[in-house]
Chains A and B, each alone.
Chain A
Amino acid sequence: MSTSRHWLFDHAMGSDPVRKVECESWKSLDQTEVGRFFFPVANPAERSFDAEDEMIQLKVNAIDRSFDGDPEMPLLWYLRDILGLTGTKFGCGIALCGACTVHKNGEALRSCITPMSSLAGAEIRTIEDIGAGGLHPVQKMWMQFNVPQCGYCQSGQIMQAIALLKEKPKPTDQDIDEGMASNICRCGTYQRIRAAIKAAAEENA
């Protein structure tokens, strides 16, 4: 990771997208091809709901957020389409593949079936925040074992693996099977995922 960060990265890390749009550095970057390429969709919910609907307050990557859109909207689409946190992936929409895994209060959560209405007061953490202060041991081992192929599922795999290791710091093969069976990798990187989890457990020890 270069020290010269793209503004989108800061945005992705949880700074206020609206403020970001107004800042000077954004304006200058907007003149570049890349800046235009990644213009954020920063208008959460243009249409307001019934007046009695309360704003949903939650924390995403340690930043306070309020949501006033469709309370049935799953967290996944709030993260991706509204906050622009695209590291969390859409894979199946019905909690069968794990590509959308994030942490809620430290536990793995399928964001694709979790309505915003259930998240008042929740603390959500996404992949963008995991490596923010230096790579997590799980990420380090993912790199050391060259785990990813296409990589699309790996945000979810890493989030799931971190949650597993929190619960089972020294997971057995059976623990890994049980803990990771929720997450599909169509490229078939399971063997390396298993090795990386074991190595990360060693690292933590």
Chain B
Amino acid sequence: MRTIANLSRRGFLQGVVGAGALVLGAYYVPKLLRSHESSPGNTDADRAPLHPDAFVGIATDGTVFIVAHRSEMGTVIRTSLPLVVADELDADWKRVKIEQAIGDPRYGDQNTDGSHSIRSFFDVMRQAGATARLMLIQAAAQKWATPASECHAELHSVVHSATGRRLPYGELASAAARLPVPRKSDVRLKTRNEWRYIGKGMTSYDLSELCTGRALYGMDVRREGMIFASIEHPPVLGGKVRSVDNSETLKVPGVHQTVPIDPFQPPPAFQPLGGIAVVADNTWAAFQGRKKLKIEWDNGPNAAYDSDRYRKELHATARKPGKIVRNVGDADSIFGKPSNLFDADYYVPLLAHASMEPMVATAEFRDGKVTAWAPTQNPQAVQAIISQELGIPKENVTCHVTLLGGGFGRKSKPDYVAEAAVLSKKTGRPVKVVWSREDDIKFDYFNAVAAMYMKAALDSRGKPIAWLQRSVFPPITSIFDANAVYGDPAHLQQGWTDLPYDIPNLRVENGPAPAHVRIGWLRSVANIYHAFAVQTFTAELAHRAGRDALEYLLELIGPARTLDLKNTDYPNYGADSATYPWETGRLRRVTEMVAEKSGWGKRKPGKGTGFGIAAHRSFLTYVATVVEVEVNDQGDFTIPRVDTVVDAGLVVNPDVTRAQFEGAAVFGTSVARSGEITAKNGVIEQSNFDTYPVARINEAPYQTNVHLVDSAAPPAGVGEPGVPPFIPALCNAIFAATGKRVRELPLSKTSLATKS
């Protein structure tokens, strides 16, 4: 670690800081992009005199630099993690400047995906802040010649408790920098009651910029001499250009040239799709030039892909024995006996992310090195794919992370950034690649299409004594392994192998499905289709048994216990099962609470109105949701109210967390109402918000009440877990309102009209 040996370097750095006043002045407007072009890792935090680790630096003027190494796509993580540092440092938030990290392994994992930023980095951030605090206290103690134990930190100063003497952080930074970085075991973290910001939260560091058009997204990056590119991708995955006629394209004013991009070597992973790029003076000219291209394609084997046929195949596979992924008791022997059996098939189609900012990236190739500016969830993957595509070392790729205009998992896959790098190398100019909305919808990494078969043997009270569930979906692993057809544990765990029900005979299976499009993560991923099947089937069983859906759900969850998944390949979202056990008591609690908060069973539904309930754990967070729906005679529906109760353990930033669950209800509404991507002859049939509609203000829930459980448990995910229970709760509400059971999404497939 850095100790006194840093002195000489500090001298140099102070010179830089002095000369850098102008630089700092220039930073104020685009504060997101305060990261630097050269010297990867050379941040203001690093350059500040006191910088005990990569995440924090304190300057002599008292400015606290905190590095945000996760990507900002609307979860406010760029604020919430630095807030944890600031709390342990006892810093004045007004004097904190956040720097966005470039991609650099020294920050650890930067793939802002899987709802784990807080969970994985809470302790790291606390340690970073507390270490700097201790060093400042020690420096003050040295100056006052008192024991450090007599001093404490208090909002950007160190105070001598007995005399009230006080030294601000800025004045201590240089002295503190001469001290050795304390060992982790010597650093005392604050107790919960000492927290200043954690649990209270803070608005986004970027709030003002976001409301004034000054926030800078990947779409807004500009470079000197930059040209704009729009790419005609092969319409079918794996297709290749057979011939191209660009003569009309080159006549379009502003078009410079067309540039071929090689097709990917299977499997696709994050490689560019290939195709023909049109390079021009501005985005519009590139779009216009592209329309004039005449290309003949060799579509390859995926041209046989047809969603209607594929859907039937998935259902058929789901009706056949599959790979057993969890087994309790002996479900087969129960199903073999004459008993009260009930089974049902469920279906969820391919889904597109449709973030408001389409894929876009800027890259500059120069002297064997690439600098990229991208709205990416995963800057280290940007380094890796550009390194691979251009045959240069990863260290020669610098990836700046801009704000993301939405991500939802799509921007974890940096194929579009690689395209910009390839084109910059080929044209010798900085290139901005801009995808149209049509490109974004057609060339997504889609959430998997899935069929689920559910079967239960019921006792005389209608409670399951045996349960079988089998899901079939093309796996995400298919983008990395062309032969992959089965779900992997990381996705089968998502609301499937961890069925939390108290049933003596249980079998969970998965069947094979080949992929014909790129499959990828989308906000809550496999939880979407798994929760839809489990929570709808549960409500169906309750209805058949003549029971209240809430009571029945609680009975299936059973008594509070730790779920035993020892004989199951269950990764628990990468978390230690001792720290994050699967506690059915917490699922019960959120379910009971949501019933109470929503007035379940107390508010009487009016004509065409219904309530639905669902509960689900994902990303280590327990969520239960009640949806109220109002369906008119024509089958149009509105969602007057949603109540959702969330046990995410410790919540760092409560208002931001509530916003995530409000947003998840809207996202779930989009999936349920109209979310459907289909292919014919291998070509995606949807293209824009007309054919792939997402919820608008008049279609979204009118009011979503989010109730956060006050929990002592360690922090869990909040970005994704609101989506899975919302969708079945909505569909269960529609059943309550109309008597129409929804087993296939989206709802636009089912007429809800009671009168024609």
Q: How far is the CA of A173 from the CA of B697 in the complex (A)?
A: 10
A47 touching B254 in the complex, CB below 8 Å, given contacts A29-B26, A89-B357, A128-B213: yes
| Shortest beta-carbon distance from A55 to chain B in Å | 15
State whether B219 touches A149 (Cβ < 8 A).
no
For chain A, give the interface size range. 35 or more
Closest to B72 in A: A150
Interface string of A167-205 (1 = CB under 8 A from B): 000000100111011011111111111100000000000
Q: Contact check: which of B29, B74, B356 meets A184 at CB < 8 Å?
A: B356
Q: How far is the CA of A152 from the CA of B217 in the complex (A)?
A: 8
| Shortest beta-carbon distance from B699 to chain A in Å | 8
Q: How far is the CA of A90 from the CA of B359 in the complex (A)?
A: 11
A192 touching B403 in the complex, CB below 8 Å, given contacts A82-B282, A91-B356, A96-B690: no
State whether B211 touches A148 (Cβ < 8 A).
yes
Interface residues of B in 195-223 (CB under 8 A from A): 203-204, 206-217, 219-223
Q: How far is the CA of A188 from the CA of B697 in the complex (A)?
A: 8
Closest to A194 in B: B697
State whether A4 touches B283 (Cβ < 8 A).
no
- Chain B residues in 8 Å Cβ range of A34: 23, 26-27, 30, 33-34
State whether B37 touches A131 (Cβ < 8 A).
no
State whether A80 touches B283 (Cβ < 8 A).
yes
| Shortest beta-carbon distance from B527 to chain A in Å | 17
State whether B28 touches A191 (Cβ < 8 A).
no
**B631 touches A (CB below 8 Å):** no
**A18 touches B (CB below 8 Å):** no
Stretch of B442-450, B555-563, B655-663 on the interface side: B655-663
Q: How far is the CA of A191 from the CA of B639 in the complex (A)?
A: 12
| Shortest beta-carbon distance from B37 to chain A in Å | 5
Q: How far is the CA of A29 from the CA of B28 in the complex (A)?
A: 13
| Shortest beta-carbon distance from B232 to chain A in Å | 15
Q: Contact check: which of B22, B26, B438, B697 meets A193 at CB < 8 Å?
A: B697
Interface residues of A in 42-100 (CB under 8 A from B): 43, 45-47, 49, 69-70, 72-74, 77, 80-82, 84, 86-94, 96-97, 99
State whether A84 touches B662 (Cβ < 8 A).
no
State whether A143 touches B208 (Cβ < 8 A).
yes
State whether B694 touches A84 (Cβ < 8 A).
no
State whether A155 touches B222 (Cβ < 8 A).
no
Q: How far is the CA of A93 from the CA of B283 in the complex (A)?
A: 11
**A119 touches B (CB below 8 Å):** no
Q: Contact check: which of B22, B36, B407, B696 meets A181 at CB < 8 Å?
A: B696
Give 10 A-B contacts (CB < 8 Å), ordered by A residue. A47-B254, A73-B282, A91-B356, A147-B211, A148-B211, A151-B210, A152-B219, A184-B689, A189-B663, A192-B659
Interface string of B61-80 (1 = CB under 8 A from A): 00000000000111110000
- Chain B residues in 8 Å Cβ range of A47: 253-254, 281
- Chain A residues in 8 Å Cβ range of B283: 77, 80-81, 90
**A22 touches B (CB below 8 Å):** no
Q: How far is the CA of A43 from the CA of B25 in the complex (A)?
A: 27
**A6 touches B (CB below 8 Å):** yes
State whether B211 touches A158 (Cβ < 8 A).
yes
Interface residues contributed by chain B, number (CB under 8 Å): 89
**B704 touches A (CB below 8 Å):** yes
- Chain B residues in 8 Å Cβ range of A151: 74, 206, 209-211, 215, 403, 405
State whether A89 touches B663 (Cβ < 8 A).
no
A154 touching B210 in the complex, CB below 8 Å, given contacts A91-B437, A92-B689, A186-B694: yes
Interface residues of B (CB under 8 A from A): 22-23, 25-30, 33-34, 36-38, 72-76, 203-204, 206-217, 219-224, 226, 228, 253-254, 281-285, 287-288, 354-358, 403-408, 434, 436-438, 655-656, 659-660, 662-667, 669-670, 688-690, 694-698, 700-704
- Chain A residues in 8 Å Cβ range of B403: 150-152
**A1 touches B (CB below 8 Å):** yes
3 smallest A-B Cβ distances: which pairs?
A87-B213, A188-B666, A152-B405
State whether B212 touches A87 (Cβ < 8 A).
yes
Q: How far is the CA of A12 from the CA of B30 in the complex (A)?
A: 12
State whether A37 touches B207 (Cβ < 8 A).
no
State whether A38 touches B690 (Cβ < 8 A).
no
- Chain B residues in 8 Å Cβ range of A180: 696-697
Closest to B699 in A: A181
A74 touching B284 in the complex, CB below 8 Å, given contacts A32-B26, A33-B36: yes
Q: How far is the CA of A84 from the CA of B221 in the complex (A)?
A: 10
- Chain B residues in 8 Å Cβ range of A77: 282-284
A185 touching B26 in the complex, CB below 8 Å, given contacts A90-B283, A191-B704: no
Q: Contact check: which of B38, B284, B694 meets A70 at CB < 8 Å?
A: B284
